[in-house]
Homo-oligomer: A and B are copies of this chain.
């Protein structure tokens, strides 16, 4: 009696392991291991004894040992330029919820839009033998061979949002062309004639796709619509572009904002100019859907949901882990959310 009490005390001092459980129960480690996993070789009596003690002592298997044995862990990495962005935020939030349901964890890695750091993060994912990674590349990433190499190591790589143009890889995107097309159609329906069109970084594939689609749709209508195309790399640049546009003789009757960031700059300018939407100028954006609700009237936007995209990305990841090897490009459809600003 005293003896087992001392044993118990010793146990409470340190970590509970299979070996300790086995020692107390006078069983072998393998039997304890199998009992806890309901292996058919073990008798009911032994199983209950083992399980009772393991609950009593709050036994928790050592993840490190399990990882070493199985040579993989239940962690995903996500590499983004920065998490301070509504779209990524909702993507990450949604993704974290998904992976948790499946017993995985999510490690965030910011590249700061720097390919060097991106590469370092990638290496970390490889070294930590992550179960898979999600990547939104930097605007300067040209070489994606390092990403493809991970695929060889059986670490699936899912690109999302900002994806490389290379074809043989897994990509999930919002409907770039379709979203720009929808925005253009909305503007045409309202018979807008002078449209200030502000796009993001022209080096990104997403910008090029959206611009082309936008222009094509507008010219497809064959109306005498004038597009004033600008690129803004920041909210502040968008604000200045807007301010300058309204100093001109021909003032825009509508503004198209390719991103939330641009929308923010545009709206600030509109407040500064004391313009009213939609009377003085119409506004439409492509957005995750949060920023447009900040204004009154709410901004009409084409929704590109980070939440939905994360679900799609995770589904694709599961498929890859399940053995689906051939690369796919998936996209989610957009919808128009009318807010009264157009």
Query: Chain A residues in contact with chain B, CB under 8 A?
Result: 60-65, 67-68, 71, 73, 75, 82-84, 89-90, 92-93, 96-97, 100, 105-110, 112, 124, 126-129, 264, 267-269, 271-272, 293-296
Query: When the two chains form their complex, are residues B127 and A60 in contact, meaning their CB atoms are under 8 A apart?
Result: yes
Copies in the complex: 2
Query: When the two chains form their complex, are residues B128 and A105 in contact, meaning their CB atoms are under 8 A apart?
Result: yes
Q: Which residues of B contact A106 (CB under 8 A)?
A: 107-108
* Option from B73, B92, B110, B268 in Cβ contact (under 8 Å) with A97: B110
* Option from B68, B107, B124, B272 in Cβ contact (under 8 Å) with A68: B68
Q: Determine how close the nearest CB of chain B comes to the CB of A338; give it in whole angstroms.
A: 17
* Option from B84, B100, B293, B294 in Cβ contact (under 8 Å) with A294: B294
Chain B CB within 10 A, most for which of A62, A71, A294 = A294
Query: When the two chains form their complex, are residues B93 and A82 in contact, meaning their CB atoms are under 8 A apart?
Result: yes
* Option from B67, B89, B108 in Cβ contact (under 8 Å) with A96: B108
Known: A68-B68, A89-B84, A107-B107. A272 touches B294 (CB 8 A): no
Q: How far is the CA of A71 from the CA of B63 in the complex (A)?
A: 10
Q: Which residues of B contact A61 (CB under 8 A)?
A: 127
Q: Determine how close the nearest CB of chain B comes to the CB of A297; give it in whole angstroms.
A: 8
Q: How far is the CA of A317 from the CA of B267 in the complex (A)?
A: 41
Q: Determine how close the nearest CB of chain B comes to the CB of A222; give it in whole angstroms.
A: 37
Known: A96-B110, A97-B110, A106-B108. A73 touches B84 (CB 8 A): no
Q: Determine how close the nearest CB of chain B comes to the CB of A285; give it in whole angstroms.
A: 14
Q: How far is the CA of A75 from the CA of B110 in the complex (A)?
A: 15
* Option from B63, B65, B269 in Cβ contact (under 8 Å) with A128: B63
Q: Which residues of B contact A89 (CB under 8 A)?
A: 83-84, 89
Q: Which residues of B contact A112 (CB under 8 A)?
A: 97
Chain B CB within 10 A, most for which of A65, A67, A106 = A67
Q: How far is the CA of A128 from the CA of B106 in the complex (A)?
A: 13
Which residue of chain B is the closest to A74 with respect to CB atoms?
B128
Q: How far is the CA of A293 from the CA of B239 in the complex (A)?
A: 12
Query: When the two chains form their complex, are residues B93 and A126 in contact, meaning their CB atoms are under 8 A apart?
Result: no
Query: When the two chains form their complex, are residues A105 and B105 in contact, meaning their CB atoms are under 8 A apart?
Result: no
Q: How far is the CA of A132 from the CA of B119 in the complex (A)?
A: 26
Chain B CB within 10 A, most for which of A73, A108, A295 = A108
* Option from B84, B90, B105, B127 in Cβ contact (under 8 Å) with A109: B105
